[in-house]
Structure 1
Amino acid sequence: MSYSFVVEPPAVQEFESEDERIERCKEWNLLPGSATRVKTYMYKRQGLTLPCEIVGFVDHQTVVIQFENKQQHCIHPAYLKEMQTASFGQRAQAAADARAEESAESAGETVMEDAAVEAGEAAGKGLRSANAAEGAGSAEAAERSGSGSAAELAAPEEKPRKPAASKKKPALQLPEDKLKVTAVVKEFTTVPNHFSDNDDEVIIYEGIAIEGHDLAIEEVWSSHSATLKKLELKEGDRVSFEAKIVAKKLTQHPVKYKINNPSKMKVIQPDA
């Protein structure tokens, strides 16, 4: 049996190990800090309760889950966490009832608005007739006085032309495969996470060099995951790694590109 509601991931970033999967789930608040293994989660929708497991992610805010029929589905980690509560279905039904009530009220307001529009149009017809008669009299008076013709009075004022919109620069074409990259650690910082009590830790890199490609990329960023923390990186460290680069702007920072799931990262010694 297949599920029609499934949103298939365009590309899945798989976990390099079970430890990384556990650490990621802790970052998404799907596991407590003391957890040592990943549990089975429940996906709830339209009266269904389906067991699923987390098999990867698309980005930091999109988790990929897999059902028992092997179908994969994209979901926000905060929404998946909310589904684990016993009251999730009750809140969803209450929200549906509220939407239905709002639709009924909106329909009533639309009927009243239509009646008001019809009344306004009827009044407007009378006003336009009076204005037409007044306009005819004004044009005749203008012609008699010689102050200007009716055609001159009625000529619309020419509007200034808007400047032509500037053409946007074409988007940078990024390779879809993993790339071999060297970079310099520029800064450690945090960005707000509206779905968690804690801010997300990130690393900003500069001096980007990509083997076999000439791409105009000055800076990239990545999550400061538990795996990277083990390297004990410092600002100014020159590192090499393999990763896929995607167009994803860092919140509150002018960094347009992100490295996804970096692997084989190591610090390049100055004499290397």
Structure 2
Amino acid sequence: MAIIYPHIEDSNLTHYIPPEGEYTLFESEEDYAKRVREWGLSSAREVKKEFWYKGKTYQRLVTIKAYQTYGSNNTINILVIEFQDGHLSCIYPDYLKDMQSGNFGKESRINSTEAEELSAASVPLTEKPRVESIEKTVSQPAPKSSAPKIQKTKEPEIQLPTDKVHFTATVKQFALSWNHFNEENDEVVVLEQVQIVQEEPINIDFAWCSHSKTLKKLELQPGEQLEFDGKIVKKKLPAGKEVEEEYLLDVPVPFKVNNPSKIVKK
């Protein structure tokens, strides 16, 4: 049975994530229709113009006003939605798609804190923070050190493939990550000894993915080795709130695997 929500158009229950920086308006009705279909938000001949934005106890009508693109190849899309009271907020297309389901709130395809990083995603991933130079006046020159300077060598950044690739990995543990929209922790799977299998393999220490229905059916256990297909992105695992000891992490997990499929236990 679907959840019945009171209709609230002006609600202080909504957590807004206003867009930062420039966003792209649709060029035409045809451009709008094309992109909405690409995001999987409408398949009808007459493309939908209004969508439901749902919380735990309410739902509100929104329209898609614009969008922002990020990443080196502009492959990451974030929608700028407008509420009927004029408020603007950001949301991932898949999450807005989930909200159109009558079962939303019971189990969502996006279980792993996509929303918590939206505010960080408002800054283009290719943009570096500005550092202002400050001139300091010193009355006496600082004494020169006789010790030789040691230059630290920075490890080259891993060039992640943008397409779906094949992986091998080992289940390290399960962890909890805070989902800002649901206001609760979501369980995720932490992987170690992750390798992207290709002509020149890429080794990654740790990655994480949502503990989806597909993964739950496999009844994974720490130490099990896996093979699967998926896409990998640079996205740090956000910490959960009030996490029990068995879910605590002792390492940073900087990469996320999206939509793992064709999963095989070794």
| TM-score where L is the length of structure 1 | 0.43
| Structure number with higher relative contact order (C-alpha < 8 Å, ≥ 6 residues apart) | 2
TM-score with structure 2 setting the length: 0.44
Structure number with the higher strand fraction is: 2
